[in-house]
Amino acid sequence: MKRPEGEPPPQRTLWEKITRRGRDNLPEFIQQWKQFAISEKQREREEIARQRREKEEQERREQRQWKLHEQEQAQLKQRVVRLGNEICQKLVEEMEAEGLKKFAEEVIKKTLWKNKQFTAISISQVNNPDVLVKDDGTIIRCSRSGIKISYRHKALNPSRVEESLYFGIGYFGNRTEIIPEAQGSVTYGNLQKGVKGYFVEVDSHRSYTGQRTTVFPYAYSDHREAFYLHLYESAKHLSPDQVIPQERRHIKEANKTWQAYKEGPKKPWRDGRPH
């Protein structure tokens, strides 16, 4: 029966393809199967090669994307470092104009911390350039620059500790660090980008809360007066003549308690005798 013009040929089954000629010819039958097996293996090899090429191409694309990401991150890091250094340099200039280092030397070291304990006082300038750049390009300023004045002394545990006072000018985003009377002068948007102001950071081993940072934002009208008053009181409280004698009494009392405990009456379970 003649197939109508334009009609596709019928699909043959595998068996029909192999046996459509020489159905009863065994050698031809075997040869066709052999050729079929060879062609199947060839297709498998081609498929494996194709998958390998696709995988290699995918790996190359991922490597290019990763290198591009690394380049972008390196550029962003350079930009962040540059911005942080620029902002910090301006803070240093403002701090020098304010005379904070001289305040540390003349008012704190030579007056408030002039002590009878013969404790060495060290003064250093500490700059912390810190800037964050969000995905939308928003710059969050966290840099600060200040003066650190500190001393070390004996303590009960650990055996030697440092008392320090760090103060200066910087940018801050934590509302809880701002003095209560000034919190109404800064908005949420200002905090998200960094509020500029004076700061005082007290780090004393006697404090159970660790470092305490107090911020005096420029937006607050009395920020300068409040800053210097707080700095003065913090320095007085941290004076070696107040801290070291208290710590010595603490050590002496602890040693006395321990000695009394060792020399006191032994408990039945501690005297070594069976009970």
In a domain, 212, yes or no: yes
In a domain, 3, yes or no: no
Residues 201, 202, 205, 209: is their CA dihedral positive or negative? Answer: negative
Per-residue confidence band for 259, with pLDDT thresholds at 50, 70 and 90: confident
In a domain, 246, yes or no: yes
Question: Which class for 172: exposed (0-12), middle (13-18), buried (19 or more C-beta within 10 A)?
Answer: buried
* pTM (2 d.p.): 0.68
State how far the Cα of 140 lies from the Cα of 160, in Å rounded to an integer: 37
In a domain, 275, yes or no: no
What does the pLDDT look like over 67-98, one tens digit per residue? 998 888 888 788 888 888 899 999 999 999 99
In a domain, 30, yes or no: no
Q: Is residue 5 predicted with pLDDT exceeding 80?
A: no
Q: Is residue 268 predicted with pLDDT exceeding 70?
A: no
Average confidence score pLDDT of the chain: 84
In a domain, 53, yes or no: no
In a domain, 226, yes or no: yes
In a domain, 123, yes or no: yes
Where are the extended beta strands (E) located within the chain?
Answer: 122-128, 131-133, 139-141, 144-154, 160-172, 195-203, 212-217
Name the domain count of the chain.
Answer: 1
What does the pLDDT look like over 227-257, one tens digit per residue? 999 999 999 999 999 888 888 787 777 777 7
**pLDDT reported for residue 262:** 72
Element (H, E) at 63: helix 26-98
Range of the domain at 229: 80-259
